[in-house]
Structure 1
Amino acid sequence: MLLPVGGLIVVALCGLFLFGLATTRVGVAAVAMGVVAALVPVVVVVAGFLWVDRWEPEPAKLLLLAFAWGACIATITALAINSGAEAVGDLLLGSGHGSKISALVSAPLVEEAAKDAFVLLIFWRRSAEFDGIVDGIVYAGFSAAGFAFTENIYYFGRAFAEYGFGNGANSGVLAAFFLRGVLSPFTHPLFAVMAGIGFGVAARTQQRWLRVVAPLTGYVAGVLLHALWNSSATLGGSKAFLTVYFLIMVPLFVGVVYVIVLQRRREQRIVAAALPKMVERRWIAPSEVDLLSSLSGRRAWRRQARRESGRDAARAVGLYQASVTELAFLRRNRIRTDEDRHRQDELLHTLKTARADAVRLAAGGAG
């Protein structure tokens, strides 16, 4: 009980510190403008990751914690270390060089590590919630979305404080929004997703070496991409930036989306293959197989429950569907340990309870 409360307190204090720091540097009005501008891309990015997570939704509290981690803990960690690296660079190489050292070396190494740390915590402490690549992508994406949200507040706020909305040759908040909110809202999530994929591979293998190498490889890939992105913006000028953007970042983003689509189809096949055996064990009814084997069928079932019996009934049906999916993945990986058997018993209890609640609420609604 004390650990979650302590974690919330730490996140809140970090958030207050960052808010105070931003308002000191650019002013309250600029921070307010930054928040408004930063909300647009973050809503789109979060919606995208929620779409990715539809087959086996992760606990909402963990997704919220991942976002808060990125927005507060990861951001303040990166800020402290990057500022120190910049100061050391200025001291050793001369004034003005520290910012380049920070952007090209410190920022990629530290920011990716700070964002990926939450995925590592989930992988280590909540392994039951980690079933594969999609889970790694979602947790990494939410952490990175939180980080980008806080970073965008400052960048948009600074642009507004210095140039307003922008005029003539000046780059105001509209130009900053176009660059960071329209052209490249996916960059921070893309860098972090590399490690997320690595953790997902590690979750699906029994080979110890791969459980270490895969996440490290993903982290290194994210760091290199981040360094390339920063160097194109810092050293290369507009031509180099556009070359990296269109020839590397956009194709890589498209490739990750393709991987996500393939993984979603894989998840659907795993669930569909498990349903007949669940019918044999009388965990689910035969009439439910078609409803559970597609996202459209599941969505229609929840809508019908909401329409006929209310929101609580729809929530119970959703919990029932999620339990079926978790069981399918657990049995796909086979029941090997006492922990696996305990997890199966928990899921069966949740499944039966949710089904009973849905039936009770449906009967009440019919009455």
Structure 2
Amino acid sequence: MSDPRLSRHTPRRLTVLLPVVGLLALAGCGLVLIALSTARVGLEAELVGVGAALLPVGPVVATFLWVDRWEPEPAKLLWSAFAWGACGATITALLINNTAEAVGDLLLGSGNGDKLSAIVSAPLFEEAAKGAFVLAVYLFLRGEFDGVVDGIVYAGLTAAGFAFTENIYYFGRAFSDYGFGDSTSPGVVAAFILRGVLSPFTHPLFTIMIGIGVGVAARSAHRRTRVLAPALGYAGAVVLHALWNASATLGSGTTFLTVYFLVMVPLFGAVLWLITWHRRREQRVIAAALPGMVEQRWILPAEVEPLSSLKGRRHWRSRVRRRSGRAAAAAVGEYQAAVSELAFLDRSIAAGTAGRTGQQHREELVAVLKQARKRAVLASAQRDG
């Protein structure tokens, strides 16, 4: 949660102009992508592609929002991650991949450029384009990046946006070439089963490696780790992406299924385990910080138990919503998030990873916490009255 007072000291060109320019740039990229895709497959196929791509993206996005529950990141930042993946990263990768395909056809012979693009160019530059957003949040919005879970969330949503746009084209092209498909030729139904049912998490899985690497860097006080961890995460993402594309481009159906079941599925399970472990760790960090907050009189003793678990927090918000309305429940949610963020910041300060502005940020965050609690109490009291 960012302190609204900080915006007073930020030049208007940064708080207003840059976000507007960024949104216009992403919108322009999106329009260009739609125009290019429609020109290749036709309007009807494009509409089919959009409809089919919408189905898997919802559960994927919902999964990452579920992961991001202890200390929810700003909604505008999460949607910016998705928008960058869907527009900015996609058009960047498209331009580079098309160039690589043309160079491949020139050097290796006609028809071989697509293999070079799929196995070399796409893994290198698509993962770099997607990972750029995660790295930018870490470098320029350090207060919104607490560790591995945040890295996974930002990376996953960026990759979900990328996969959404990519699926529109793949589904549209399948429909344009084969229609819905039949027993002799695969169509959009087969493409949907492959990309939307069997492997909707492949792109997020690749980029999550970058998120984990940047998250490890955020939690480390060692300069070497802060450099090597993101680099190793990027290398892991590139290798997984290249392996996946090679199994689909060069291998047989057996090769593809082998990579799917022996590499991707176990790795996906390992990431789920890592997320579960880190969420439990976050819970322990928050629970350990609450008694100190009681001593400082920032929270009440009776609030320790409901603040110590996601279930307790959810029941608290539900109870306030029934009694005092949605606005009061939202205010309680902001208060809960401020408690979490202060607990994570105290951990960073103790570990020496908060940076030179850690103590200043803490003072600002304490003020945010107090204000959030006042708003929660006031909203509840006004509705009750």
TM-score, structure 2 length as denominator? 0.94
- Secondary structure, in 3 states, of the residue corresponding to 2:227? helix
| Correspondence 1:346 to 2:361 | no
Deviations 1:291-325 (A, max 9, x none): 10000000011111111111110110000000000
- Tell me how far apart the structure 2 counterparts of residues 214 and 28 of structure 1 sit (CA, whole Å): 44
Structure 1 position 338, deviation (Å): 5.5
The answer to whether residue 21 in structure 2 is matched with residue 3 in structure 1 is: no
Are residue 87 (structure 1) and residue 102 (structure 2) matched? yes
Distance 2:188 2:247 in 1: 21
Paired with 1:200 and 1:341, the residues of 2 have a C-alpha distance of 21
SS in 1 for 2:339: helix
Alignment of 1:279-358 (within 5 A): 279-334=294-349, 339-358=357-376
Please name the residue that 2:88 is paired with.
73
The residue that corresponds to 1:154 in the other structure is 169
Matched, 1:178 2:193: yes
Counterpart for residue 158 of structure 2: 143
Q: Is structure 2 residue 147 aligned with structure 1 residue 132?
A: yes
The whole-number CA distance in structure 2 between the counterparts of 1:115 and 1:338 is: 29
Decide whether the 8 Å contact of 2:41 with 2:176 is kept in 1.
yes
Counterparts of 2:237 and 2:271, CA distance in 1: 13
Shift of 1:343: 1.4
Alignment of 1:19-98 (within 5 A): 19-98=34-113
Show structure 2 runs of 5+ residues with no match.
Answer: 1-15
User: Residues 213-252 of structure 1: matches in 2 within 5 Å?
Assistant: 213-252=228-267
What's 2:12 paired with?
none
SS in 2 for 1:95: coil
- What whole-Å deviation, never above 9, does each CA across 1:153-185 have from its counterpart, x for those lacking one? 000111111111111211111100000000001
- Taking only the aligned residue pairs, the percentage that are identical comes to 65
Measure how far apart 1:39 and its partner are: 1.0
Comparing 171-180 and 345-354, the one that deviates more? 345-354
Q: Which amino acid aligns with 2:336?
A: Q
Residue 22 of structure 1: how far off its partner (Å): 0.9
Are residue 258 (structure 1) and residue 273 (structure 2) matched?
yes
Show the 5 A alignment for 1:95-134.
95-134=110-149
Other-structure match for 2:6? none
Deviations 1:170-228 (A, max 9, x none): 11111000000000011100000001000000000011111010000000011001000
Task: Select between 330-339 and 183-192 the one with higher mean Cα deviation.
Answer: 330-339
Deviates more, 1:156-165 or 1:249-258: 156-165
CA contact under 8 A between 2:325 and 2:383: conserved in structure 1? yes
Q: Partners in 1 of 2:60 and 2:364 — Cα distance?
A: 33
In 2, the alpha carbon distance for the partners of 1:201 and 1:338 equals 19
AA partner of residue 293 (structure 2)? M
Amino acid of the residue matched to residue 33 of structure 2? L
Q: Deviations over 1:251-277 (max 9, x none)?
A: 000001000000000000000000001
Whole-Å separation in 1 of the counterparts to 2:325 and 2:375: 12
- For 1:334, what is the secondary structure of its paired residue? helix
CA offset digits 1:124-166 (Å, max 9, x no partner):
0001111110000000001000000000000011111111111
Structure 1 length-normalised TM: 0.98
Match of 2:222 among 201, 204, 207: 207
The answer to whether structure 1 residue 165 and structure 2 residue 180 are counterparts is: yes
Secondary structure of the equivalent of 1:76? helix
Tell me, in whole angstroms, the C-alpha distance in 2 between the residues paired with 1:93 and 1:364.
72
Cα contact 2:151–2:208 (8 A) shared by 1: yes
Q: Which runs of 4+ in 1 moved over 4 A?
A: 335-338
Amino acid at match of 2:240: L
Q: Distance in 1 between matches of 2:70 and 2:55?
A: 25
Equivalences, count: 367
In structure 2, what residue type is equivalent to 1:354? A
| Aligned mates of 2:378, 2:291 — CA distance in 1 | 25
For the residue of structure 1 that corresponds to 2:181, the secondary structure is coil
Aligned mates of 1:131, 1:237 — CA distance in 2: 42
Using the TM superposition, name which of 290-299 and 36-45 deviates more.
36-45
